[in-house]
């Protein structure tokens, strides 16, 4: 029987090395939760800015300067939310790699990054192109769809479960195409709520047990 | 009955060689340093196991440079892939029989 034990160990070894050498597995669930909370906060602030704008709009009608200001505020907010979410995501994953004593910059991470960046950059250029023609209704669906496709692409190089998050984002984006004008709700749902749910599920599955045992 | 261990390959009995093959079968190419970190062995030990696999034509070596430093990468050959898959199947069959 010890022989069988040996072979089982050999198979476990093979599996571990195959996974570790081709995928970045230290993605922390808390990264998702952190990014989700920041996105949700951003959504509420955006809602507040929009309400403010519409109060003036009702009172004095359309004013070009107000609209310019609104556009500027929302763009700045978007950039800030993006940067903060990125930092939060990076921080928790960095902490996890420290704890596991694996390096954050190995070839699997580089591949993961590239597989994310290409669809995201395409999405960003596409969205800025739409804004250039004042087409803002499809910004939220485009964000969700391109982000979903980026995640789907990246799922080959990290935890496989991220695929389900990707499918949800894509479906949400596609539904949003048929409900323009509700973009902010979909955006908050996709980038806020879904991230938090995904993060919590992943955290329970991979991270919480580790903390107990250490 | 077919002998379950006829496809078990002697070359893959070492843990280090098994590790090397596992890493190479899922990656197009892996550098010496990445292999070292993955498997957790010393330079000399890894080099001698790589040599054995190379002599069996299971892996290919590419020598290149990153700046001035040499960068040696390894990849699996067709023969290596076939032998490794057969070895895995044989392992599975053995475990099935034992249980």
Confidence grade of residue A1 (pLDDT, cut at 50, 70, 90) = very low
A:B CB pairs within 8 Å: 54
The tens digit of pLDDT for each residue in B49-86 reads 999 999 999 999 998 887 888 888 999 999 999 999 88
Is the CB of B98 less than 8 angstroms away from the CB of A107?
A: no
Confidence grade of residue A145 (pLDDT, cut at 50, 70, 90) = very high
Is the CB of A10 less than 8 angstroms away from the CB of B18?
A: yes
- Residues of chain A neighbouring B19 (CB-CB closer than 8 A): 13-14, 17
Residue B45 to chain A, least CA–CA distance (Å): 18
The pLDDT, as a whole number, for residue B49 is 93
Please state which of the ranges A19-23, A49-53, A189-193 shows the lowest mean pLDDT.
Answer: A19-23
Is the pLDDT confidence value at B8 over 50? yes
Is the pLDDT confidence value at A129 over 70? yes
The pTM for the full model equals: 0.76
pLDDT above 90 coverage of chain B, percent: 33
The pLDDT, as a whole number, for residue A210 is 58
Is the CB of B30 less than 8 angstroms away from the CB of A21?
A: yes
Strand partners, B66: B69
Confidence grade of residue A209 (pLDDT, cut at 50, 70, 90) = low
Burial bucket for residue B32 (CB in 10 Å: 0-12, 13-18, 19+):
middle
Boundaries of domain holding A116: 28-204
Question: Mean pLDDT, to the nearest integer, of A184-192?
Answer: 95
- Overall number of domains in chain A: 1
Residue A107 within a domain: yes
Contacts of A82 (CB under 8 A, 6+ apart): none
Q: Which residue of A has its CA nearest to B14?
A: A10
Secondary structure of residue B72 in the 3-state scheme: strand
Confidence grade of residue A17 (pLDDT, cut at 50, 70, 90) = confident
The tens digit of pLDDT for each residue in A57-76 reads 888 888 888 888 998 899 89
Is the CB of A13 less than 8 angstroms away from the CB of B26?
A: no
Q: What dihedral do alpha carbons A3, A7, A12, A14 form, nearest 10°?
A: 150
- Architecture of the CATH domain B10-98: Orthogonal Bundle (1.10)
Is the CB of A3 less than 8 angstroms away from the CB of B27?
A: no
Is the pLDDT confidence value at B21 over 80? yes
Secondary structure of residue B63 in the 3-state scheme: strand
Candidates A4, A13, A17: best to mutate against B (most CBs of B within 10 A) is A17
pLDDT above 70 coverage of chain A, percent: 95
Residue A163 to chain B, least CA–CA distance (Å): 20
Question: Mean pLDDT, to the nearest integer, of A125-130?
Answer: 93
- Residues of chain A neighbouring B22 (CB-CB closer than 8 A): 13-15, 17-18, 21
Question: Mean pLDDT, to the nearest integer, of A92-113?
Answer: 82
Is the CB of A18 less than 8 angstroms away from the CB of B18?
A: no
Is the CB of A21 less than 8 angstroms away from the CB of B94?
A: no
Backbone φ and ψ for A182, nearest 5 degrees, come out as -105, 20
């Amino acid at each position: 029987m010890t022989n069988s034990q040996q072979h089982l160990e050999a198979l476990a070894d093979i599996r571990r090395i195959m996974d570790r050498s081709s995928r970045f597995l230290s993605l922390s669930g808390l990264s998702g939760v952190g990014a989700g909370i920041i996105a949700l906060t951003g959504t509420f602030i955006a809602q507040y800015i929009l309400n403010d704008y519409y109060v003036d709009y009702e009172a004095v009608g359309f004013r070009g300067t107000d609209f310019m200001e609104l556009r500027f505020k929302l763009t700045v907010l978007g950039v800030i939310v993006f940067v903060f979410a990125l930092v939060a995501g990076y921080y928790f994953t960095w902490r996890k790699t420290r704890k596991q004593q694996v390096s954050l910059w190995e070839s699997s991470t580089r591949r993961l990054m590239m597989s994310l960046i290409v669809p995201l950059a395409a999405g960003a250029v596409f969205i800025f192109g739409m804004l250039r023609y004042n087409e803002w209704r499809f910004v939220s669906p485009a964000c969700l769809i391109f982000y979903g496709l980026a995640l789907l692409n990246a799922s080959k190089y990290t935890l496989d479960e991220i695929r389900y998050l990707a499918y949800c984002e894509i479906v949400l984006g596609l539904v949003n195409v048929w409900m323009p004008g509700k973009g902010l709700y979909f955006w908050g749902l996709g980038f806020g709520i879904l991230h938090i749910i995904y993060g919590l599920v992943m955290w329970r599955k991979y991270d919480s047990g580790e903390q107990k045992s250490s | 009955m077919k002998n379950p261990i006829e496809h078990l390959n002697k070359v893959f009995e070492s843990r280090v060689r098994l590790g090397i093959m596992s890493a190479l079968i899922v990656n197009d190419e892996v550098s010496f340093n990445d292999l070292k970190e993955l498997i957790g062995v010393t330079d000399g030990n890894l080099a001698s196991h790589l040599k054995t696999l190379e002599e069996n034509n299971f892996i290919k070596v590419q020598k290149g440079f990153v700046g001035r430093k040499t960068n040696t990468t390894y990849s699996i050959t067709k023969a290596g892939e076939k032998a490794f898959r057969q070895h895995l199947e044989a392992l599975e069959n053995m475990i099935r029989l034992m249980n």
